[in-house]
Amino acid sequence: MSDDFNMSMRKFLKQVGVTSQQAIEEALRGADTAGKTYAVKAVITIEELDMTHEVSGEIKGDA
């Protein structure tokens, strides 16, 4: 893959990571998260390529 492709991919994934973390932190701010575990799912799609990628996991609240 080309350098341009790699740079654009890294830029997109960095944006996804940073903005997703900010959104999750905002959603949990002020909530009583002690001892709770939240199911999370991220979905990335490229409609023109008919591609969908899902990642599921858990985020544990503060102890």
Query: What is the domain partition of the chain in residue ranges?
Result: 3-60
What pTM was computed for the model?
Answer: 0.82
The pLDDT score that the predictor gives to residue 57 is 98
The pLDDT score that the predictor gives to residue 15 is 97
Average pLDDT over residues 53-59: 97
Per-residue confidence at 30, pLDDT binned at 50, 70, 90? Answer: confident
> 24-63 burial, b if ≥16 CB within 10 A, otherwise e?
eeeeeeeeeeeeeeeeeeeeeeeeeeeeeeeeeeeeeeee
The pLDDT score that the predictor gives to residue 6 is 96
